């Protein structure tokens, strides 16, 4: 396989991309690097700023490339980084005969595979590998006064943000009271417009995360039957009131800040000594991909800890602009891997980042988790609501059961031994084959109104349901 730095220089869209790629050439950024020399392919997984690693592939025969990152630069720094390692340290790649499914998918979708490489267009901007390799000039040593000024400015900014968010929550409170006064029947009918208006106001006042949540409220209501919508509105608005109150009581609380304004960066998370870290075997239960009204796509990958004595879940959450097109995730439902996850500090730790991939885990059934004492499938949800009543989606493991249909062909999960007379309505439609299968364990998300199925164990093995 012929790869040289001149090619990388020619393909790079600008000098900044080359500089960023140079920083990605450390082996530690790449949990997986593989090559199929016969086909002239290299690929890898690069731990970028998202929760999921990015999948990067490069075809040396025609200089075709693919990366799952949301960058609008083509090729992105991850592709350049992969090529760079390919050119300078080819021994870093494990040689394999089989290409993974996602690489095959990409190759299969390419319009003209196997074409000779097209020469990169000459860019007006000069780019240089040497320049990218030059160490960055160290910042001038800051004097004490300047450092104090910077810190004071930071404090001022934090103070301003806090005041703005506080004002945002005052407006939210007033808005909630207005909706109650005007009637929830009208709110449900006009929720799209009303939520849009308050969400825009919250964005102005720096309560960005809260704005995103309120923007999604109409879609949540519309997914329910009309007779269920007022109750759902009460639940959602009540959660907003609780969240606002909790933030006022502890504005520096990391979880509440994340839910109201902005989230920590990946680097901040990795540097946080208090963040819970769990090294274990994980199975990808399923994915939940939603296009939001603010133009972002949220991509949630739900994981199950296979070594925990009680059910422990994690969610890798990534956001990217819908305009960036459809992206495939790094993991497919059913995948198993060993990894160290870092959990965002939270009362119920769920959201996490993959800090370190440690290889693949062996396939098999889910472990037999200790059943909860009450035998109540929703006991985990009650505990979840006790800890974080402002959250909605709670991952649960349901005992043996089956899917049944009501008179309107709505699907319900029903417990096999039905000791609590419990049946939970399932979101959306289900594959009708599922109606004839006995589910021994089911992993799902429960939001108080609907069950979103992720995966099941059954008499015929694991079922992907997301």
Partner 1 sequence: MNELEQAGLARLRDNWISGGAAFELAPAEWKEFAAASSSDEQERRLLAIAAQALDVALRPAAPKTLKRRPPLPMLALPMLPDWLRPLLRAVLKYAADARLKTRVATLVASRGFVLHPMDWMPAASDQESPDIYAPWVDWQAGADGDRQSRRGQLTAETWDDFYPAARRTALVELRRTMPVLARTLIETKGASEPAEVRLALVELMRFGLSADDIPFLKSLSADRSGKVRETAGRLLARLGERSDPADGASKDPIAELAAFIEEGKSGFIRRRTTYTPIKPKSPAQQSRRADLFASCYFGDLIAQFGKTEPDFIGAWQFGVDEGADLFLVRMIAVSGSDAAVACLADLLVAAGGRLALLVLQLMSRLDNGRKRVLIRQILDDGQNLAALNLVEGAEAGWLEWSDLARSKTLPALRSAVSGDNDVMKRSAEQYLETLGFLANPEAAEKLIDEVIAAGLSPASPSLGLLRLNAALAGNPSQSDR
User: Would you tell me which residues interact with partner 1 (CB under 8 A)?
Assistant: 39, 99, 101, 103-108, 110, 113-114, 173-174, 176-177, 180-186, 230-231, 234-239, 241-242, 245, 363, 378, 381-382, 385, 389, 402, 404-407, 412, 414, 421-425, 431-438, 448-449, 460-464
Closer CB to partner 1, residue 310 or residue 416?
416
Q: How far, in Å, CA of 76 to CA of 96, rounded?
A: 25
Q: How far, in Å, CA of 357 to CA of 457, rounded?
A: 26
Residues forming beta bridges with residue 426, ordered by sequence position: 451
CB of residue 348 to partner 1, shortest distance in Å: 14
Closer CB to partner 1, residue 153 or residue 177?
177
CB of residue 67 to partner 1, shortest distance in Å: 17
Closer CB to partner 1, residue 77 or residue 194?
194
Closer CB to partner 1, residue 84 or residue 175?
175
Both tokens of 320, joined, read 């990217």
Closer CB to partner 1, residue 158 or residue 180?
180
361, HSE (Cβ side, Cα atoms, 13 Å): 21
CB of residue 351 to partner 1, shortest distance in Å: 20
Closer CB to partner 1, residue 272 or residue 392?
392
Residues in the chain: 466
CB of residue 7 to partner 1, shortest distance in Å: 21
- Cβ–Cβ < 8 Å for 360, 352: no
Closer CB to partner 1, residue 102 or residue 343?
102
Closer CB to partner 1, residue 144 or residue 460?
460
Closer CB to partner 1, residue 308 or residue 392?
392
Both tokens of 97, joined, read 């005969």
Q: Omega of the bond prior to 151 within 30 degrees of 0, cis?
A: no
Residues forming beta bridges with residue 57, ordered by sequence position: 43, 66
- Cβ–Cβ < 8 Å for 283, 335: yes
323, HSE (Cβ side, Cα atoms, 13 Å): 4
Closer CB to partner 1, residue 369 or residue 381?
381
Could you write out the DSSP letters of every residue in 342-395? Answer: EEPS-SS--EEEEEEEEEE----PPP-PPPPTT--TTHHHHHHHHH-TT---EE
Closer CB to partner 1, residue 62 or residue 294?
62
Both tokens of 87, joined, read 């050119």
- Cβ–Cβ < 8 Å for 446, 394: yes
CB of residue 396 to partner 1, shortest distance in Å: 13
Give the burial string for 372-392 (b: 16+ CB within 10 Å, else e): beeebbbebbeebbeebebbb
38, HSE (Cβ side, Cα atoms, 13 Å): 5
CB of residue 78 to partner 1, shortest distance in Å: 21
CB of residue 175 to partner 1, shortest distance in Å: 11
3-state secondary structure (DSSP) of residue 223: coil
CB of residue 436 to partner 1, shortest distance in Å: 3
CB of residue 358 to partner 1, shortest distance in Å: 22
Could you write out the DSSP letters of every residue in 50-103? Answer: SSSPEEEEEETTTTEEEE-S---SSS-HHHHHHHHHHHH-GGGSEE-SSPPHHH
CB of residue 366 to partner 1, shortest distance in Å: 15
Torsion of CA 320, 321, 326, 330, to 10 degrees: -10
Instruction: Give the residue among 250, 244, 246 at the shortest CA–CA distance from 213.
Output: 244
CB of residue 343 to partner 1, shortest distance in Å: 24
CB of residue 134 to partner 1, shortest distance in Å: 39
To which H or E segment does residue 169 belong? helix 144-182
Closer CB to partner 1, residue 136 or residue 227?
227
Q: Are strands 277-291 and 394-398 parallel, antiparallel or unpaired?
A: unpaired
């Amino acid at each position: 396989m012929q790869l040289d730095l001149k090619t990388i220089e020619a393909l790079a869209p600008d000098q900044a991309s080359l500089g960023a790629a140079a920083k990605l050439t450390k082996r530690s950024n790449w949990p997986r690097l593989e090559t199929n020399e016969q086909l002239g392919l290299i690929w890898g997984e690069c731990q970028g700023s998202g929760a999921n690693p990015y999948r990067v592939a490069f075809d040396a025969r025609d200089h075709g490339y693919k990366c799952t990152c949301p960058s609008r630069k083509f090729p992105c720094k991850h592709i350049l980084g992969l090529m760079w390692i390919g050119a300078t340290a080819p021994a870093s790649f494990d040689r394999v005969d089989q290409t993974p499914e996602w690489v095959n998918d990409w190759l299969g979708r390419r319009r003209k595979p196997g074409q000779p490489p097209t020469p990169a267009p000459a860019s007006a901007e000069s780019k240089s590998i040497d320049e990218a390799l030059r160490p960055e000039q160290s910042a001038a040593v800051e004097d004490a006064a300047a450092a104090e000024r910077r810190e004071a400015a930071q404090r001022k900014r934090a103070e301003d943000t806090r005041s703005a968010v506080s004002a945002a929550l005052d407006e939210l409170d007033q808005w909630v009271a207005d909706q109650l006064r005007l009637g929830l029947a009208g709110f449900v009918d006009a929720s799209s417009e009303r939520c849009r208006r308050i969400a825009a106001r919250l964005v102005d006042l720096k309560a960005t995360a809260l704005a995103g949540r309120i923007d999604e409220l109409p879609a949540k209501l519309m997914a329910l039957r009309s007779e269920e919508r007022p109750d759902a509105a009460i639940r959602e608005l009540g959660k907003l009131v609780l969240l606002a109150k909790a933030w006022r009581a502890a504005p520096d609380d990391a979880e509440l800040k994340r839910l109201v304004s902005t989230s920590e960066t990946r680097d901040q998370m990795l540097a946080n000594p208090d963040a819970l870290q769990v090294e274990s075997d994980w199975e990808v239960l399923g994915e939940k991909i939603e296009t939001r009204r603010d133009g972002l796509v949220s991509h949630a990958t739900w994981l199950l800890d296979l070594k925990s004595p009680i059910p422990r879940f994690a969610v890798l959450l990534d956001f990217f602009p819908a305009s960036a097109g459809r992206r495939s995730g790094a993991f497919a439902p059913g995948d198993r891997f060993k990894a160290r996850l870092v959990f965002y500090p939270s009362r119920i730790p769920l959201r996490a980042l993959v800090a370190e991939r440690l290889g693949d885990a062996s396939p098999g059934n889910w472990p037999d988790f200790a059943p909860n004492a009450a035998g109540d499938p929703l006991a985990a949800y009650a505990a979840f609501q006790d800890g974080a009543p402002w959250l909605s989606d709670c991952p649960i493991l349901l005992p043996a059961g089956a899917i049944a249909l009501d008179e309107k062909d709505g699907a319900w999960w029903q417990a096999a031994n039905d000791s609590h007379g419990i049946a939970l309505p399932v979101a959306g439609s289900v594959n009708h084959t599922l109606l004839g299968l006995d589910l021994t364990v089911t992993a799902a998300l429960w939001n108080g109104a609907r069950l979103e199925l992720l995966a099941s164990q059954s008499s015929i093995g694991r079922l992907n349901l997301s």
